[in-house]
Amino acid sequence: MDVAENALAATGVEIRAAGDEVAGVRPRLVALPGSAEEIAAVMRACAAHDLAAVATGGRTKLHWGARPERCDVLVDLSRMNRVLEHTAGDLVVRAQAGVTLEALADALAGENQELALDVPVPGTTVGGLLATGIAGPRRFRYGTARDLLIGVTVVLADGTIARSGGKVVKNVAGYDLGKLFTGSYGTLGIIADATFRLHPLPAARAWVTATVERPVTETDGTWTNEDGLTFETLTTDLAASLAAAVPAVTESQLEPSAVEIDWPDVKGPCTVAVLVEGAAAAERAKALCGLMGELMGETAEVTEEPPPWWGRLPEPPGRAAEPPGAKPAAPHAGQILLEVRNASSRLAETFLGFLQAAQVTGFRAVLRGSLAAQVLHIALPPDTEPALVAGFTSQLRAGLGEQARVVVLAAPPEAARRLDRWGRVGALSLMRRVKERFDPGRRLSPGRFVGGI
What are the tens digits of pLDDT across the range 409-432? 999 989 999 999 999 898 999 999
Backbone angles phi, psi at 313, to 5 degrees: -70, 155
Give pLDDT, residue 2: 87
Q: Which pLDDT belongs to residue 324?
A: 47
Residue 169 pLDDT: 33
Give which of 261, 452, 238 is closest to 355, Cα–Cα. Answer: 238
pLDDT on residue 379: 96
pLDDT recorded at residue 235: 75
pLDDT 10s digits, 286-304:
999 999 888 887 788 999 9
pLDDT at 333: 59
d(CA 441, CA 331): 32
- The list of the chain residues with pLDDT below 50 reads 167-173, 324, 330
How far from 439 is each of 26, 72, 202, 304, 451, CA to CA, in Å?
Answer: 22, 16, 42, 49, 15
